[in-house]
Amino acid sequence: MAARMFDLQGKTALITGAGRGIGRSIALGLAEAGADVALVSRTKSDLDQVTKTISGFGRKTLGIPTDVKNADEIRNAYKQFDEAFGQLDILIASAGISQRVPFLDVSEDNYDEVFDTNVRGLVFCCQEAGRRMISSGGGSIVLISSVVAEMALMNRNLYGATKGAVSALARSLSLEWSSHNVRVNLIAPGFIETSMTKPILDDDDVRQAAIDQTPLRRLGQPDDLVGAAIFLSSDASSFVTGDTIVVDGGLKVS
């Protein structure tokens, strides 16, 4: 019975940021757990590689090139999802970007790029998912936040502000939609090696400092988040909402 609680067969998921990094690993993990998966990302070539792998698992999949900064493109992605899959059971909102800029050097373009991707895009993805899940009787929404929602890292000001907003939104939606059996939870990664963090972690001093601050003495990998994502997507977490699973290797930053 315990294993069946984590089984996602018969479930359908939409995952943003699914072309690479954390979103890609979660997409593959949910498909291996039995879910049919729609993949949203800006880059078609990335989507094509992931959909090919998921098809090899025998799962139904569809790649939908989408820029989540554009609300019309988000609505179109959900329309394509509806036509291909029907009911939406799971949303994993993983699309996000980070910039390392001292606050006094932050420009309007910096602000627009980070907030439009990390907050605006997530807001309208959640809104479209919520409409469908409320109509169908429930579902699970998992938002990828970050440990920087609760602590500071040097020159990650806009990124931290957006992740704080994501965390606040999840708490609000978990309450607002609880009567509809729509659960909303967060995963907060620590230092994870992805294409987004590569420019920072390629600096040997920064890389070693990140490892030194992580009690498990290694950097996280995207696959390290898959277990938490499957748990929050599945019936195993049916009484969990408004919560955060921190996946950071015990990170402490002074």
Which residues are marked as active site? Answer: 159
- How far the first Cα of the chain sits from its last, in Å, is 43
Rounded to the nearest 5°, which phi and psi values hold at 50? -70, -40
Query: Are residues 98 and 146 in contact, defined by beta-carbon separation less than 8 angstroms?
Result: no
Q: How far is CA 137 from CA 15, 73, 78, 193, in A?
A: 20, 26, 18, 37
Q: How far is CA 110 from CA 39, 107, 118, 169, in A?
A: 26, 5, 12, 22
Residue type, 57: F
CA dihedral over 220, 196, 26, 48, signed as positive or negative: negative
CB hemisphere CA count around 127 (13 angstroms): 11
Give CA–CA dist 141/77, Å, rounded.
17
Residue type, 25: S
The answer for 241, left when phi > 0, alpha when psi is -120 to 50, beta otherwise, is: beta
- Give the helix/strand (H/E) hosting 64: strand 61-65
Q: What is the DSSP letter of 202?
A: T
